[in-house]
Amino acid sequence: MADRLARFHGRWMPEDRAESTYRYLAFELPGGVEGISFTLDYDRGAGVLDLGLFAPFGFRGWSGGVRSSVIVSRGWATPGYLPGELEPGCWSVCLGLYRIPDSGLEYTVEVSRLSASPMVEPGERPPLPERPPRRLLPSLPGRRWLAGDFHTHSVHSDGALEIMDLALVARSRGLDFLAVTDHNTVSHHPYLRELSAYSGVELLPGQELTTDEGHANCFGRTGWIDFRRDADQWLSSVERAGGVLSINHPVDGDLGWRRRTTAVPPLAEVWHSSWDRQSEEPLAWWMRWGCARPIGGSDFHRVGSDKAPGSPTTWIEVADDGILPALRTGRVCVSEGPSGPVVMREGSDVLVIGGEGTWLTSIGGRREPVRSDAARLTAVDGLQLLTDDTGQILALTL
């Protein structure tokens, strides 16, 4: 049973969006409430409204344009939202005015009180799929190479898989780690350690800061980072919390990067699954921007329609202190997949593993044949690229 706490109805116009992207529908929550539900109704064929929730003391969840109905309670919350005590006071349903047609977009939001907190019993854990043999790349003393993906999504935003199922797909691909980077939320973070231990895949806490002017991933246990702020504040907040920030798919059409910054984030997702690898446009962007370290991400959401996790694969040479320190200072390279050829620097040399018959190239014009599956060539300055006979990029390293 539920009883209504508030109802909001109106029409957003393009002028409203120009004035402010985020709009807040405030309602008063009395004490002793076990849970609330809220719904958003509008014509999804005409425009796009994002949906979120803020409590008196801050963030309680975000689902973007994915959901029209949400529950938040003491014991359970819709994925993307944080369960827990519901403090009395002024709460707000947040609407992001993402796409508003010229004629406007009519909407209705209703907020109701739940008489009891719903509980969801955990299901049985699925069996572990067989894992391909780990690939042993030549590493420096006391270090080892790990294969992973820095951009994936679960049901906590617009992905189709539960976190466990996402981890098992990564395991079946032979990945060692996976960053779970759901949009504008950290509701998935509490589950990652336990599921990492079960699956054998290290699940890195992530959050994809998502706006209509660009996306960025933050990695690490940073807590929630406010996506409504400017990009310089993203970077400073992430660094203060001990995390690392990466610009995502910077030349991916209307999802590309158009935000202003005065400081340069340390990472850029130069290799995104959408990249036409015969185009040097992302590399040209990277050279203009000046990010120190290129990484890759599949941006995986669902089986069957997206490229699999590890497409591309980012390789990190790690020591005992783990992946995030290695991202800042260690060796990093990117390949088309976990079993594809790899190119890496070693001092004044470049090692090419599994790349016989390919070409080692650079943006400066170098083009040198790779004549064995474990080739050592002299390095040149800048980005090192491995290409096939058609010019398609197979691997890269800085």
Fold of 2-114: Jelly Rolls (2.60.120)
Query: Does 118 score more than 90 pLDDT?
Result: no
Q: Evaluate if residue 66 carries a pLDDT over 90.
A: yes
Q: Can you tell me the distance from the alpha carbon of 218 to that of 75, in angstroms, rounded to the nearest whole number?
A: 27
| Euclidean distance between CA atoms 315 and 337, whole angstroms | 10
Is the pLDDT reported for residue 120 higher than 80?
no
Span 2-34, pLDDT tens digits: 699 999 999 999 999 999 999 999 999 999 999
Dump pLDDT digits (tens) for 216-264. 999 999 999 999 999 999 999 999 999 999 999 999 888 999 998 898 8
What ranges make up the beta strands (E) of 13-65?
Answer: 22-29, 35-42, 48-55, 58-64
**Distances from the Cα of 257 to the Cα of 59, 108, 202, 233, 281, angstroms:** 25, 32, 28, 16, 13
Q: What is the pLDDT of residue 48?
A: 98
Answer yes or no: same fold for 2-114 and 144-332: no
Where residue 166 falls (left for φ over 0; alpha for ψ -120 to 50; beta otherwise) is: alpha
pLDDT tens digits, residue range 133-149?
999 999 999 999 999 99
| Per-residue pLDDT band at 382 (split at 50, 70, 90) | confident
Model confidence at 122: pLDDT above 90? no
Question: Distance between CA 32 and CA 2 in Å, rounded?
Answer: 14
From edge to edge, which strands make up the β-sheet containing 48-55?
Answer: 22-29, 89-99, 48-55, 58-64
**Is the peptide bond preceding residue 369 cis, with omega within 30 degrees of 0?**
no
Averaged confidence pLDDT in the chain: 95
Q: Residue 109's pLDDT band (boundaries 50, 70, 90)?
A: very high
Identify the pLDDT of residue 244: 97
pLDDT in tens, 155-201: 999 999 999 999 999 999 999 999 999 999 999 999 999 999 999 99
> Do residues 113 and 3 lie in contact, with contact meaning Cβ atoms separated by under 8 Å?
yes
* Per-residue pLDDT reduced to its tens digit, 357-377: 999 998 778 899 999 999 999
What pTM was estimated for this model as a whole?
0.96
Q: What average pLDDT does range 114-121 have in this prediction?
A: 82
- For the chain, the domains span 2-114, 144-332, 341-398
| Residue 121 scores a pLDDT above 80 | no
What would the pLDDT profile of 300-336 be if each residue is shown by its tens digit? 999 998 999 999 999 999 999 999 999 998 999 999 9
Domain 144-332 is of which CATH architecture? Alpha-Beta Barrel (3.20)
Q: Is the pLDDT of residue 1 over 60?
A: no
Contacts of 212 (CB under 8 A, 6+ apart): 21, 98, 254
- The helix/strand/coil state of 19 is helix
